[in-house]
Structure 1
Amino acid sequence: MNAALFPDLVVNGERVPHALVAAETQNQEAPKGKPGIAWRKAVNAVAIRTLLLQEARTRGVEVDRQEVGPGLFETDEEALIRGLLDQVIDAAQPCETDIRAEWEKDPTRFRTPPLWEVSHILCGCDPRDEDARAKALARATGILALAQGDPKGFPALAQRESDCGSKSSGGALGQLGPNDTVPEFEAALRDISEGEMSAEPVLTRHGYHIIRMDAVALGQVLPFEAVRAKIAIAMEKAAWAAESRQFIMELVKASDIEGADLSMV
């Protein structure tokens, strides 16, 4: 990324070093081969952070670093921004009527965790190795075609082809619940119906998987009393986020910013 290709970021007369924007780009998603998108996102993020820090200092917010994990504390800037938002945001707690109304929109959203009974065939590879990944995908695609052509032969196919220790049991992994497997695998499970296979090989840190959903046990719908506190917390967080966004929009409108486009904030 050639920083010279992009204009300087100036926030209320404060010129922000390109190095700060460059460091922020690693936190921004963008299509492969289009670093300019990541840079523009980073510019906007840094501009907002700069605005918040300026406002915190104007209001005399004191740095009070809090522990955010075992032995891990906020930076001075994080503490200033949190202190500012604590000072200006006062999200009202939802009332009982609103909490119940949110639950009544769709009580089936609130369930005990599901259970999935799953079998799979693994074509192992290191996803960071492009050649190995391509070979594993080609192999997995061929195995998937065989499995789709003979669903009853899945266990025998797993015993013959899988790179996972579960091959000895025909690929059966038994019952899995949320967080029992890697995120990519779990995300795929949520999209496969009982008795079906993944439409295409699923890539995880272990390689490509052909997944068969042997059975699904959806969680039981929970009564209002069991989820009331969870709903209240989610609604309060949503209200806090909305007020924070409004506060930032007001700062943006009242500021002089060059080199960033915050019109969509």
Structure 2
Amino acid sequence: MKKALLAAAAAAALGIALPAFAQNVAIVNGKPVPKTRVDMLATQLAKAGRPVSPEMQGQLKDEVIAREIFMQEAQKRGLDASDDYKAQMELARQTILIRELFADYQKANPVTDADVKAEYDRFVAANSGKEYRARHILVENEDQAKKIIADIKKGAKFEDIAKKQSKDPGSGANGGDLDWASASSYVPEFSQAMVKLGKGQMTQEPVKSQFGWHIIRVDDVRDAQLPKLDQVKPQIAQKLQQEKLAKFQQELREKAKIE
């Protein structure tokens, strides 16, 4: 009780009401720095994915006090009256308000689990089917391609020729290996020829595309290996959220009367 009276007397001597004093983290050059600034900074950090631990409270307090010191100095120099400052403040105001608009829309129009599942099902339907483990040798002209086919039929190794003669730098160094991929991953001329081949078969005639002349061999075929829903759920949700927001923005533009 005695300590409380002494604290009250000290506060009165300083001209500070106890409730107001309790609400401030410091008084800088006679100006109170409210605790709400610490709370606001903590909230913004949390929104940015950096939750504030109890150990960080002291750092936040120091940061808020430092900002007050620097702001006071800037105001003393009249920088808050400059045109540049006013222009930047207006741009910041617009940015914050627009960000709040979009956040409010997303809160009111969340992406549901049903939305994600429907999008995943569409993805599966579009990408199901076969995948091919193919190799190819890419050369500049038909005659060169025909000679390579003849050499392979005589016993030359496909992989060795790919390493030496293929002009596709990505696969050539790996013996022409294109890894697993669906037929839709390739240009039409290539995929049409590839899907006609069985496991272990090679094209008997060169295949022409915009890149040159191909000799194609299929090493293996399997059913498409697609990721499970749980593996891609965050990416799908983010994609749908972006699409919803883009549609909202477009609707606002279309409704606006611009003269």
Q: TM-score, normalised by structure 2?
A: 0.39
Give 1 or 2: higher helix fraction.
Answer: 2
Between Structure 1 and Structure 2, whose CA radius of gyration is higher?
Answer: 2
Q: What's the TM-score, normalizing by structure 1?
A: 0.39
